């Protein structure tokens, strides 16, 4: 029997407790182009645009773009762009079908269609979740990674672009030629000062092709910084099967997440936007203090859990914080990281830490340590190295941060403490495989740390190689007690 898929035609078969779009989807305009339509966009920004549509402001439909593979388009197209957002914690579950995504384009199949969407007079916002590595920035030297083949391709020709900046530039050029304002481009990746990084990448790309266009973008465009937060684990086949049994139709584009959602956006737009504040978005002049707190507390602890827990054999985040010594290690890391923060008014750090621990402990999320361990070279600088460097500049010790960094180095051996082998998933995996020790690894991170910090990392690294992650954690907790 053929599997019945979620679609506009099968919406009315869903159980009554599933929320579905009540607005006229055919009347929706496409005010948003999203680059990198993975799980996170569908659980975060799209949920906000859905709220705008549900409020009656029909300008904020989304054209999703995959810059690389056709996977998400192939999941969503047979479903008329509909997908289920499953929000769950240990206590309950909320199920909502989201209708905001009106179309998914696959850039390599039809790059001109992506440029046309960016150039459309209806488009006012471009959001991006292309992962940290998608910005193609040179972590050690600064600027664009000019020897990356896709960057080199786009710097030479924008006929059929390959990179995010390579698409935004012809989109902006077409808008300028048509007398339209630029769109506001919102990076929603976990990078500090993500707006400035995106702006720099776009200006460098524009400069290579048309300096006058670069000037126009610099003067008229807007690249607000954003802090985004919602834990969105990758969907598994088992998740799809369980939901299908509940809904009576199959949804291959479903995403699962937690109740928490935060989006802090720098209040600097160059055109129309939804009434974001009405849908829970915080607009502010200063995103950096929010971003630093999130990157160093949430993401820093996540990376520590990914490598230490991964080495110890933990499949999921909640397993690690389910053990007293796991929680103690996270608290020790937070003690060190918190002292480097300048918390924004409105952020109560002790309460934030308590809430984070509860979020990590959510057993219903099934957030894999391996997912977080991916792309460590792109994540560690802002999550762990920056707070370490700041502490050392003030003469402060860096034990827990150093253990987390050492665990990432030990992870590069590709084998857990239980003898299980795995493949390193990182854009610079080949260079990491050639690294000869702590100094080589730090150079690949672009990390400039003093002798004491390097020495502390080296001690932990040696202990992890000799012993195990569990023993190293116990030693650190013991030392601190």
User: Which residues would be at the binding site for ligand CS2 (CB under 6 A)?
Assistant: 190, 229-231, 298-299, 302, 371-372, 379
* Among 9, 13, 68, 452, contact with ligand NAI (rule: CB under 6 A): 68
Stretch that binds ligand NAI, among 2-10, 65-73, 195-203, 433-441 (CB under 6 A): 65-73
The site partner of 372 among ligand CS2, ligand NAI, none (C-beta below 5 to 8 Å per kind) is ligand CS2
Euclidean distance between CA atoms 154 and 161, whole angstroms: 6
Determine the size of the site formed for ligand NAI (CB under 6 A).
Answer: 21
**Which does residue 59 bind out of ligand CS2, ligand NAI, none, counting CB within 5 to 8 angstroms by kind?**
none
The torsion region of residue 36 among left (phi > 0), alpha (psi -120 to 50) and beta comes to left
Beta carbon nearer to ligand CS2, 123 or 303: 303
Contact segment (CB under 6 A) with ligand NAI among 45-53, 207-215, 228-236, 350-358 equals: 228-236
Residue 8 to residue 277: CA distance in whole angstroms: 30
Residue nearest to ligand NAI (CB): 38
- For residue 5, the 8-state DSSP code is B
Q: Which is nearer to ligand NAI, 281 or 449 (CB)?
A: 281
Instruction: Find the binding residues for ligand NAI in span 106-165 (CB under 6 A).
Output: 129-134
Would you say 246 and 14 are in contact if contact means Cβ atoms under 8 Å apart?
no
**Residue pair 210/306 in contact by the 8 Å Cβ criterion:** no
468 makes contact, choosing from ligand NAI, ligand CS2, none, with CB < 5 to 8 Å by partner type, with: none
Task: Tell how many helices (H) and how many strands (E) occur in the chain.
Answer: 23, 12
Tokens of 475: 């030693």
Pick one of 67, 82, 217, 306: the residue that binds ligand NAI (CB under 6 A): 67
Tell me: does residue 198 bind ligand NAI (CB under 6 A): no
Q: How far is residue 457's CA from residue 391's CA, in Å, rounded to a whole number? A: 14
The nearer residue to ligand CS2, 127 or 190, going by C-beta atoms, is 190
Q: How many CB atoms lie within 10 A of CB 439?
A: 14
Whole-number CA gyration radius for the chain: 23
Q: Please report, as residue ranges, which positions from 229 to 288 form the binding site for ligand NAI (by CB under 6 A).
A: 230-232
299 binds, among ligand NAI, ligand CS2, none (CB under 5 to 8 A by kind): ligand CS2
Nearer to ligand NAI, 39 or 97 (CB): 39
Instruction: Tell the smallest beta-carbon distance from residue 130 to ligand NAI (Å).
Output: 4
Size of the chain, expressed as the number of residues it contains: 481
Which one, 40 or 320, has the nearer CB to ligand NAI? 40
- Nearest residue to ligand CS2 on Cβ basis: 302
Closest listed residue to residue 371, CA positions, set 432, 420, 305:
305
Q: Which of residues 235 and 416 has its CB atom nearest to ligand NAI in the complex? A: 235
Q: Rounded to whole angstroms, how far apart are CA atoms 69 and 107?
A: 8
**In whole angstroms, how close is the CB of 40 to ligand CS2 at the nearest point?**
7
Beta-strand ranges (E) seen in 162-216 are: 184-187
Q: What sign results for the dihedral spanned by CA atoms 272, 277, 280, 283?
A: positive
Min dist CB 222 to ligand NAI, Å, is: 20
HEC string of 295-358 equals HHHHHHHHHHHHHHHHHHCCCEHHHHHCCHHHHHHHHHHHHHHHCCCCCCCCCCHHHHHHHHHH
Interaxial angle between packed helices 211-220 and 164-177, expressed in degrees from 0 to 180 and rounded to the nearest 10: 90
> CA of 59: how far to CAs of 265, 273, 274, in Å?
20, 9, 8
Q: How far is the CB of 41 from ligand CS2 (least distance, A)?
A: 12
By the rule CB under 6 A, 36 interacts with ligand NAI: yes
- Sole residue written with tokens 């006929």: 159
CA torsion through residues 453, 459, 460, 464, sign: positive
Q: Which stretch binds ligand NAI (CB under 6 A): 22-30, 34-42, 357-365, 439-447?
A: 34-42
> What CA dihedral angle connects 408, 411, 412 and 413, to 10 degrees?
150
From 36-44, 216-224, 240-248, 386-394, span contacting ligand NAI (CB under 6 A): 36-44
Q: What are phi and psi of 248, to 5 degrees?
A: 85, -5
Least Å from the CB of residue 450 to ligand NAI: 29
Nearer to ligand NAI, 30 or 42 (CB): 42
Find which of ligand CS2, ligand NAI, none residue 379 binds, CB within 5 to 8 Å per kind.
Answer: ligand CS2
Work out whether 426 is an interface residue with ligand NAI (CB under 6 A): no
Nearer to ligand CS2, 60 or 307 (CB): 307
Residues in the site for ligand NAI, rule: CB under 6 A? 36-41, 66-68, 129-134, 189-190, 228, 230-232
């Amino acid at each position: 029997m053929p599997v019945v898929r979620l679609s506009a035609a099968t919406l009315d078969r869903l159980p009554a407790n599933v929320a579905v779009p009540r607005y006229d989807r055919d009347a929706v305009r496409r005010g948003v182009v999203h680059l990198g339509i993975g799980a996170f966009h569908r659980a975060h920004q799209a949920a906000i645009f859905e709220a705008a549509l549900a409020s009656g402001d029909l300008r904020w439909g989304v054209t999703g773009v995959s810059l690389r593979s056709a996977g998400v388009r192939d999941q969503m197209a047979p479903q008329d762009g509909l997908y289920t957002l499953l929000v769950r914690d240990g206590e309950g579950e909320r199920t909502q079908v989201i209708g905001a995504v009106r179309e998914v384009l696959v850039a390599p199949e039809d790059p001109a269609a992506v440029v046309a969407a960016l150039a459309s007079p209806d488009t006012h916002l471009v959001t991006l979740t292309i992962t940290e590595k998608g910005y193609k920035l040179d972590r050690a030297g600064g600027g664009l990674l000019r020897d990356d083949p896709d960057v080199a391709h786009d710097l030479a020709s924008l006929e059929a672009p390959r990179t995010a900046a390579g698409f935004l530039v012809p989109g902006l050029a077409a808008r300028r030629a048509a007398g339209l304002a630029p769109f506001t481009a919102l990076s929603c990746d976990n990078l500090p000062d993500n707006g400035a990084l995106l702006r720099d990448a776009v200006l460098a790309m524009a400069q290579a092709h048309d300096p006058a266009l670069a000037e126009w973008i610099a003067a008229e465009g807007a690249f607000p910084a954003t802090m985004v937060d919602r834990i969105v684990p990758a969907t598994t086949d088992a998740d799809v099967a369980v939901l299908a049994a509940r809904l009576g139709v199959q949804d291959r584009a479903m995403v699962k997440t937690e109740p928490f959602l935060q989006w802090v956006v720098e209040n600097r737009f160059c055109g129309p936007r939804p009434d974001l504040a009405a849908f829970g978005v915080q607009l502010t002049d200063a995103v950096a203090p929010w971003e630093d707190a999130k990157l160093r507390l949430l993401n820093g602890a996540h990376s520590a859990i990914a490598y230490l827990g991964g080495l110890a054999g933990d499949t999921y985040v909640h397993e690690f914080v389910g053990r007293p010594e796991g929680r103690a290690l996270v608290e020790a890391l937070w003690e060190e990281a918190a002292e480097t923060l300048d918390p924004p008014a409105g952020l109560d750090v002790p309460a934030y830490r308590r809430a984070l621990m509860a979020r990590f402990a959510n057993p219903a999320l099934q957030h894999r340590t391996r997912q977080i361990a991916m792309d460590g070279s792109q994540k560690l600088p802002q999550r762990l190295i920056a707070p370490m460097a700041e502490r050392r500049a003030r003469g402060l010790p860096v034990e827990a941060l150093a253990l987390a960094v050492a665990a990432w180095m030990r992870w590069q051996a590709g084998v857990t403490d239980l003898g299980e082998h795995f493949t390193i998933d990182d854009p610079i995996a080949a260079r990491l495989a050639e690294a000869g020790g702590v100094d080589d690894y730090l150079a690949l991170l672009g990390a400039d740390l003093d002798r004491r910090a390097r020495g502390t990392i080296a001690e932990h690294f040696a202990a992890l190689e000799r012993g195990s992650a569990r023993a190293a954690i116990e030693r650190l907790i013991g030392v601190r007690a």
